[in-house]
A = this chain, B = another copy of it.
Amino acid sequence: MFSGAQISLYPMTSNFVPVIMDAVKALDPHRDHLRIETDDLSTLLVGPPETLFEAMHDLFVTAARSGEHVVLHGTVSRGCPGEPDAEICKPSINMGERKPTSERISAAQAVIDAIPESKQHVSAQFSYYPLGENKEYMTEIYAAIDFIKNSGVFGRSKNFCTKLEGDSAKVFGTLGQTFLSFAPEMAHVTLDITVSANSPSTKKQ
């Protein structure tokens, strides 16, 4: 499997460079498990799916604690047929034989329930894309939506995406489980995620 993410952090402040630089230090504990490359648009993380979501969460929470309005965008991908298998991407969990949808939903929920809260509130939205020759792609999308609706962080359905709201640890946990728990192990799956904290739009509401 090849898995990774292109991520970008947008602090809505004239001091955006130090906010980004401080947040990037939060990736340090994960560096042994990730390949990291940066250009002017985004930073590539290559590594196991569970580490990708932990690293994105640590980066984002650090930036949000600056108090500035910050947004993280990520394009997360696994199983792209254009990419080689990579040892660094091996998941620590067994993705092997896919169980029925209801069992996968219960197992994913148990993982999220066990994650301690960060006490950082966030809004998020994501689009889930299971790609390729899979006739069941809308079934897997609807299963993922069922899971999300009962996850405790469901906000609302929007056109082209689903909105989440709640504690950042639960939101990133839910995104990670959505990425891992639906579509076959070898499928090409991408998740487009946007996470926002400290928006003046939410403060006004």
| Complexed CA–CA distance, A163 and B135 (Å) | 30
Stretch of A24-32, A167-175, A193-201 at the chain-chain interface: A193-201
Task: Name the distance in Å between A187's Cβ and chain B's nearest Cβ.
Answer: 12
**Among B75, B80, B129, B194, contact of A131 (Cβ-Cβ < 8 Å):** B129
Q: Known contacts A73-B194, A77-B160: does B129 contact A129 (CB below 8 Å)?
A: yes
A17 at interface, CB cutoff 8 A: yes
A42 at interface, CB cutoff 8 A: yes
Measured between beta carbons, the chain B residues less than 8 angstroms from A199 are 40-41
A138 at interface, CB cutoff 8 A: yes
How many A residues have CB within 8 A of the partner chain?
52
A92 at interface, CB cutoff 8 A: no
Q: Known contacts A75-B127, A163-B41, A201-B39: does B81 contact A138 (CB below 8 Å)?
A: yes
Measured between beta carbons, the chain B residues less than 8 angstroms from A205 are 40
CB neighbors of B among A11-40 (8 A):
11-17, 39-40
Q: Known contacts A127-B190, A131-B129, A161-B75: does B6 contact A196 (CB below 8 Å)?
A: no
**Among B16, B46, B71, B133, contact of A8 (Cβ-Cβ < 8 Å):** B71
Q: Are B194 and A192 in contact (CB under 8 A)?
A: no
Report the nearest B residue to A202, measured CB to CB: B40
Measured between beta carbons, the chain B residues less than 8 angstroms from A160 are 4-6, 75, 77, 80, 190
Interface residues of A (CB under 8 A from B): 4-6, 8, 10-17, 39-42, 44, 46, 69, 71, 73, 75, 77, 80-83, 123-125, 127, 129, 131-133, 135, 137-138, 158-161, 163, 190, 192, 194, 196, 199-202, 205
The 10 lowest CB-CB distance pairs between A and B, nearest first, are: A40-B201, A10-B10, A12-B16, A77-B160, A14-B14, A40-B202, A40-B199, A129-B129, A13-B14, A192-B192
Given contacts A41-B163, A81-B138, 4 further A-B contacts (CB under 8 A): A42-B161, A42-B194, A75-B192, A82-B138
